[in-house]
Structure 1
Amino acid sequence: MKSFPVHTIESAPEHSRASLETLQSAFGVIPNIAGAMATSPVLIESLVGLFGKVHGGSFAEDQIQIVLLTDAAANSSRWAVAFHSALALQEGITIADVDAIRAGRLPNDQKLAALSLLARAMIEKRGHLTQQDMDQFLDAGFNKAHLLEVIAIVAASTITNYTATITNPPIEEAFKQHMWSRS
């Protein structure tokens, strides 16, 4: 398999550089997945645009990380599971809930469990949710706008997860303690 470069701002195609600068501002570094995505200006620009909308939406950051970690595990994306495990812990998600999601189980908190369950259903059912899937989410205290907003989070996550699977970027030292593989 051919390897993909992990670009820096200097080595990236010209049309990818602004997106990398945006991500560097957000994270303090350019995540390796973004460096790999930068090979395609269309892909990295799409992610950055969606990233801004997702993280500026109506969900709290810990809730967003629940969706992103759930999707990473459902998509078996090693890089993304390590990355989002670290970010979820930074956002105050308990180790027990992070471990549960990594193992394909639900978090203990009822509202976070409903969010994780919906995210996993969207991935596994490829968007073909049942009325029961939607009702469980809505009954946990979310609304219909939240349900639709989860689609945007899943879309951002899918871009990252698929790119990580295809490009196989190295896991950054800061995330290696959260390395994961599907059991």
Structure 2
Amino acid sequence: MTNYPVHTIDTAPDWAKQPLARLQEAFGFIPAAAGMMANSSPLMNSFFSAFGYFRGEGTFTPAERQVLLLSNAVANECAWAVAFHSLEAIEDGVPPADVEAIRRRSLPADSRSAALSALARALIGKRGHLDEAGTAAFLAAGFDENQILEVITAVAISAMTNYAATVADLEIEDRLRPYAWNGNA
């Protein structure tokens, strides 16, 4: 593994200070993955832009966004991101039983969340090759075709953070420790 510093606003390069400050404002702290991504302008700025559009102009509720991002973290087997998005999912109103189901690689009990989680996992697992049944289940849950494109945005955002966190072998912050994940639950 590599050894990247996890930047704070004080230690980050000048170009990264504003994105880190905005993320701190959004989450109440600077996630370690963001602090680490501040070592690369292309990575940090691409993530920050995509995340801003996904969160600011997307059609998913905060809870639906977290179902997506947690499902992606599990599919990508990123322990740091699973812990982070478990916390965020609980805070954004995803029922704890649904969070645990996703962490166990199962589907949430809520049918709409289940369709969303299944589509995200299929996109990652099948490298974008969705089958008709999966697409039909997503649409039957009340989503529309354009939201499939929005799920692709979530997959891209997750790839950036999940892969960066895994490459850097990030330590889980104290506030995330209750949500530590070993690949099973």
> Which residue of structure 1 lines up, in the alignment, with residue 26 of structure 2?
26
Q: Which runs of 5+ in 1 are unaligned?
A: none
Alignment of 1:66-77 (within 5 A): 66-77=67-78
Counterpart in the other structure of 2:163: 162
Q: What one-letter code is carried by the residue in structure 1 that aligns with 2:75?
A: A
For structure 2, the residue ranges without an aligned partner over 5 or more in a row are: none
TM-score by length of 2: 0.95
Aligned pairs for 1:1-183 within 5 A: 1-56=1-56, 57-183=58-184
Q: CA deviation at 1:10?
A: 2.0
What is the alpha-carbon distance in structure 2 between the residues aligned to residue 24 and residue 182 of structure 1?
28
Shift of 1:2: 3.1
Q: Give aligned-pair identity as a percent.
A: 47
Q: CA deviation at 1:87?
A: 0.6
Counterpart of 2:55, as a letter, is H
Task: Tell me if the contact between 1:13 and 1:41 (Cα under 8 Å) persists in the aligned partners.
Answer: no
Q: How far off its partner does 1:14 sit?
A: 2.2
Aligned partners of 1:147, 1:137: CA distance in 2, in Å?
9
Contact 1:70-1:119 within 8 A present in 2 as well = yes
- Tell me the TM-score normalized by structure 1: 0.96
Return the offset for 1:131. Answer: 1.8
User: Could you tell me which amino acid in structure 1 is paired with residue 10 of structure 2?
Assistant: E
Q: Considering only aligned residues, what root-mean-square deviation do their CA atoms show, in Å?
A: 1.0
Contact 2:2 2:167 in 1 (8 A): no
Q: Give how far 1:41 is off.
A: 1.2
Aligned length: 183
User: By how many angstroms is 1:75 displaced?
Assistant: 0.6
